[in-house]
Structure 1
């Protein structure tokens, strides 16, 4: 059994699209609630130590891949979720865990103020009465960003509640180092989603029936793949438990999970969205 490192490859491999570094002298300032910034950076932190933060006109964005090329994350924070946002484009490099440590000095409703000093190339951060100046990283020294493929044409799509996904991953972690996601038929003859794990002595099987799921577009057997539980635990932790998570599956294919960040308005508009992929474990004969 070996990891299929099909999610991403190094940037010197032919045929892999990469994102070019943009102008690094861009002006940038933003003010918003701490919770929105934390949710944005946490999913990146699950896979990488450093990232290129894109200062787009419509908000913040980034793509990271883990060193083993097994997991990948594309994430965005909408400018409309922030009380103030001014960016002229460009990209900066930063240490993700250091950024989260600083944000963690405040509470979720505290306002965070970010200001880029274009002369010193440092990011000034104010949160909860704390002022911090963060040294940035040259974006050219950070691994180039592969594109998350949008044309995998995975045959099974299941939308479930974040709390159900979390329950299945926690249960699987009690018995195994791997977790299987598959679609099948429940006792009522309708399509169901299964989160399973087989240990040396114990097994776990969580059945999410048609009534448990938000939506499902699949046939029995369309989705059936095994994944590293370490990766699944890491990417599952930042997913809000009240989120609706769309899971795309195939047979021994990467899994693609898509979810939105916390609501920013009473109308249900979301602060941003995230797509995560994990390569499967292929069982050899």
Structure 2
């Protein structure tokens, strides 16, 4: 297995942020057309599938294979890069370590046995009736508003009309509505409602910029699927979040 690459530190840091929001270590798949990471948190509640295209690298060579990585340590190394500075990676096949060079800084990152890392999840094919596309600031506002009174958030699709985020606390309630005019594309679906952990959704929305186009697929008491792009389309991210089971 061989791997060498050069990439802007900012770009790689952005690509890893959706992953580290859920897990501390992961398998990085080295594909011909870039790298991919698919991971699920220990509670099987949140999932991420991230693809970083080879076109986002200044140089990219890989012969396939899987690297096991401690994300916290890798992100700490990337934090040493100044804005716009490139990072060089070279896999040492003899030591099974990753040599990283940033300017005059040289760092050798010990890799993890991929077999010791949690198995990658299968992405389920769900019957999600509605797809809503909107800008990231709507999601950010909804999460911040829900956090005022609750630790859960309900995502409700109103048939062929709008999307409503709501939360109910012990004494207070809040609704945030995304009207049809703010849903420029997508297929508005049937009436549906699901309840989710606010902490998970807050972590997932962290990497999403205010003007980032977000595709949200929803169903009735089903997981939601979030899809968005980063780094001028070089990074594609899909998140899935399982609903909270409501007791009758």
The TM-score bracket by the shorter chain reads over 0.9
Equivalent position SS for 2:166: strand
Aligned pair partner of 2:217 in 248, 254, 264: 248
Distance of 1:139 and 1:220 partners within structure 2: 42
Aligned pair partner of 1:281 in 220, 228, 244: 244
Name the structure 1 match of 2:166.
196
Distance of 1:240 and 1:87 partners within structure 2: 30
Structure 2: stretches of 5+ with no match in the other structure: none
Contact 2:167 2:173 (8 Å CA) reproduced? yes
CA RMSD of aligned residues (A): 1.3
Distance of 1:275 and 1:109 partners within structure 2: 26
Name the structure 1 match of 2:74.
99
Distance of 1:209 and 1:172 partners within structure 2: 18
Question: Is 2:50 the partner of 1:75?
Answer: yes
Structure 1: stretches of 5+ with no match in the other structure: 1-25, 264-269
Aligned pair partner of 2:147 in 163, 173, 196: 173
1:219-251: per-residue Cα shift (whole Å, max 9, x none)? 451x31100011111111122332111111001
Runs of 4+ in structure 1 off by over 4 angstroms are none
Give TM-score, length-normalised by structure 2: 0.96
Aligned pair partner of 2:176 in 183, 206, 216: 206
Aligned pair partner of 1:262 in 231, 237, 245: 231
Name the structure 2 match of 1:86.
61
Bigger helix share: 2
Contact 2:131 2:189 (8 Å CA) reproduced? no
Equivalent position SS for 2:247: coil
Q: How many residues matched?
A: 248
Equivalent position SS for 1:146: coil
1:107 is displaced (CA, Å) by 2.9
Contact 2:87 2:101 (8 Å CA) reproduced? yes
Distance of 1:214 and 1:203 partners within structure 2: 28
